[in-house]
Amino acid sequence: MEKDADGFYTPKADGTEEVKEEVKPIAEPPPESASTDLLSSTFEVTVTLADQQADPNSPLYSAKSFEELGLNPDLLKGIYALGFSKPSKIQERALPLLLANPPQNMIGQSQSGTGKTAAFVLTMLSRVDFSKNKTQAICLAPSRELARQIMSVVVAMGKFTPVQTEYAIKDNLPKDVTRVTAHIVVGTPGTMTDLLRRKVIDSSEIKVFVLDEADNMLDQGGLGEQTLRVKNMLPRNPAPQTILFSATFPDHVRTFANKFAPNANKIELQKEELSVEGIRQFYMDCRNEDHKYDILVSLYQLLTIGQSIIFCEHRHTADRIAQRMTAEGHKVASLHGAKNAAERDAIIDSFREGREKVLITTNVIARGIDILQVNMVVNYDLPLMNERGNQHSNDSRPDIETYIHRIGRTGRFGRKGISINFVHDRRTWQQMEEIEKVLGKKIIRIETNDLDEMEEKMKKALK
Ligand SMILES: Nc1ncnc2c1ncn2[C@@H]1O[C@H](COP(=O)(O)OP(=O)(O)OP(=O)(O)O)[C@@H](O)[C@H]1O
């Protein structure tokens, strides 16, 4: 395919073959992997193009193979080396729009674990001019863990290109650094703001600006202010291509998102499709707080069949549970924002490598973290609105978006997974009912006193 005068990909009369011939000997797609459910999944997205005249259902806006996208052959090699045989649904719809010229903004929504990262990483890598030692693309994420994971995708996909990368995360660069010239910088908003303000990063050539977990990054009262500060330090004319991705875009953020990324092409999910089919949701009716701990311990065998993540409301709860379980001879780790940068990196790396099977944490890693072996998520405490961002209100409504992201740490890319909510009183019960109502999916009860039944139900759900 080649781009027409308007910047859209159109099939060439004779050129399609030409591209294939040029590319195939260097880069062959790998055979489709075992988990191809997602590649053939049927969830619906609504595509709205900034150009109202264009038909979003035209094949021009969807790519059935990576080859059709006219990518640099070195990038195609990187994609295939990662084992990606063909684009996932969101990649199929988003990539032709993201790569078209002139560049257009994008607000893209697709469920957890469906391959959004590759879509924006490929866009950044495609737009960088490697011959210039200047920062040309920046990407912001809400946690250092996620920034590091995104960077690993940039490095892996860009393996056959000369791309240079740098982090904008706490304690990573020497304090007296004066210049960063890496093509792509990935980080968190506070450190990115600092590097831009001190002109360590020269923003003049930045042409792609990505927000992963965009609804979280734009949430006022949370990270929104810092993210806006970053945007205000970027070129205005022309402004960089702004790309917002998330599995959730609550209405109150959507309005701001539309201003932040004006005239964007949009990909939206239907409300009832917010969480993936592969995640089976359960709950356990506990007697009180202490009983929650006992149940968690009794689940240990099941939690360690694969890997699991236990979400708590407070850092101190995560630490306390981890200490108690460790003292009782179980192998678990805890991770939260009160640990220092080096500790956090070591803990998540060790969990990623499978050295610990159970990770007890807070909302800090509720979003984006992609560890395929995680087949169970436990909401030890349900997520509440009052934990959002910097808010410390008494708002005890359930935080539906965070719930969707938390359970989305399992069931990645068409895999099966289980989530279990612990409820222990009337209030938590009501909160869970509210979640069930909004998501329109049944949350199934598991008896807390029948371990065999529990095991059987869970193993069945994972089959
Ligand atoms: N085309 C593809 N073929 C095979 N695997 C893929 C493809 N695209 C992505 N993946 C894999 O799918 C997994 C999930 O992708 P990714 O982390 O980008 O999801 P996401 O949509 O960003 O999820 P979240 O909303 O939780 O951040 C990753 O392990 C990734 O390597």
DSSP 3-state of 115 = coil
* Counts for the chain of helices (H) and strands (E), in that order: 16, 17
| Dihedral Cα 72, 73, 74, 78, nearest 10 deg | 100
Contact present, 463 and 375 (Cβ < 8 Å): no
Q: Is the pLDDT of residue 29 over 90?
A: no
Report the atom number in ligand 1 closest to the C-alpha of 213.
Answer: 27
Ligand 1 near 404 CB (within 6 A): no
Task: Tell how far the Cα of 113 is from the centroid of ligand 1, in angstroms.
Answer: 5
Token pair of 326 as six digits: 């460790």
- The model's pLDDT over 233-272, given as tens digits with 9 standing for 90+, comes to 999 999 999 999 999 999 989 999 999 999 999 999 877 6
Q: What is the pLDDT of residue 87?
A: 94
Q: Which two tokens stand for residue 463?
A: 């089959």
Cβ of residue 116 lying under 6 Å from some atom of ligand 1: yes
Residue 452 has a CB neighbour count (10 Å cut-off) of 8
Calculated CA dihedral for residues 56, 61, 65, 67, nearest 10 degrees: 180
Q: Which helix (H) or strand (E) holds 146?
A: helix 144-157
- Position 44 scores a pLDDT of 72
- Report whether residue 114 contacts ligand 1, using a CB cutoff of 6 Å: yes
* Cα–ligand 1 centroid distance for 289 (angstroms): 36
Residue 34 predicted with pLDDT over 50: no
Q: Give the distance (Å) from ligand 1 centre to CA of residue 117.
A: 6
The CA 183 to ligand 1 mean position distance, Å, reads 23
Q: Which residue has the tokens 């052959």?
A: 73
- Judge contact between 212 and 139, C-beta under 8 A: yes
List, in sequence order, every beta strand (DSSP E) within 80-207: 106-109, 137-140, 165-168, 184-187
> Is the CB–ligand 1 distance for residue 109 below 6 Å?
no
Whether the predicted pLDDT of 18 surpasses 50: no
Q: What is the pLDDT of residues 118-171, one digit of tens each?
A: 999 999 999 999 999 999 999 999 999 999 999 999 999 999 999 999 999 999
Nearest alpha carbon, ligand 1 atom 11:
115
Q: Please report the atom of ligand 1 found closest to the CA of residue 153.
A: 31
pLDDT at 296: 95
| 455 pLDDT tier (thresholds 50, 70, 90) | confident
Kindly give the distance from the C-alpha atom of residue 317 to the centroid of ligand 1, in angstroms, as a whole number.
31
- Residue among 41, 117, 244, 248 to mutate when testing ligand 1 (max atoms within 8 A of CB): 117
pLDDT of residue 43: 61
Closest residue by Cα to atom 22, ligand 1, is: 116
240 lines ligand 1 (CB under 6 A): no
For ligand 1, atom 27, the nearest C-alpha belongs to 368
Query: Tell me, what DSSP letter sits at residue 188?
Result: -
Ligand 1 pocket residue status of 413, Cβ below 6 Å? yes
Amino acid, res. 373:
Q
pLDDT band at 9 (very low <50, low <70, confident <90, very high): very low
The interface predicted TM-score (ipTM) is: 0.99
pLDDT in tens, 284-332: 999 999 999 999 999 998 899 899 999 999 999 999 999 999 999 999 9
Identity of the residue numbered 106: M
Looking at residue 49, its pLDDT comes to 85
Q: What is the pLDDT of residues 385-413, one digit of tens each?
A: 987 654 556 678 999 999 999 999 999 99
The pLDDT assigned to 26 comes to 53
22 Cα to the center of ligand 1, angstroms = 28
Which residue has better confidence, 356 or 391?
A: 356
The bridge status of strand 265-269 relative to strand 45-48 is antiparallel
| Rounded (10°) CA dihedral 339, 345, 346, 349 | 140
Residues 245 and 239: their CA atoms lie apart, in Å, by 18
More confident residue, 12 or 245: 245
Q: And the tokens for 445? A: 């009860």
- Cβ 210 vs Cβ 245: under 8 Å: yes
So what's the pLDDT on residue 396? 84
Q: Give the ligand 1 atom nearest the CA of 88.
A: 1
